[in-house]
Amino acid sequence: MQPFDSEWLDQDAGPVVRPYALTGGLTRPSGQRFDLLDMVGVVRRAAQDMPQLAPEQTEVLERCQIPAPLVDLAADLNLPVGVIRILVSDLRERGLVTIHRAQPAGVGDLKILQEVVDGLRRI
């Protein structure tokens, strides 16, 4: 019979932590929705807020001294994008980060579409 802790420990991955434990039980980010390419940047680092932050949120703040895309934060922290969205959403509500919306690529521009069509015809 395996010890009780064996279901929470993977030899390769180490201890397993469920995503809801990292988000305080939250399943959705609050406030305005943001995209994977939106840039997250630190507004301020308030000393009084630091003890109340989860270690993952502290890590987000450290990595966002230079604004970073949400998807890069997920990859760098090795966490699901949904978890990062919730953590960043909480930081935004505390006034610790700001989110800059990614600008659309302008796919509706007819000139760009015509250049794509011309390029495909040359192939």
How many whole angstroms separate alpha carbon 123 and alpha carbon 121?
Answer: 5
Contact in structure between 35 and 90 (CB atoms under 8 Å): no
pLDDT tens digits, one per residue of 84-97? 888 888 888 888 88
How many whole angstroms separate alpha carbon 17 and alpha carbon 79?
Answer: 11
pLDDT tens digits, one per residue of 53-78? 888 888 889 898 899 999 999 888 88
Let me know the angle formed at the C-alpha of 115 by 114 and 118, rounded to the nearest 5 degrees.
85
Q: Which of 76, 70, 102 is nearest to 88 (CA)?
A: 70
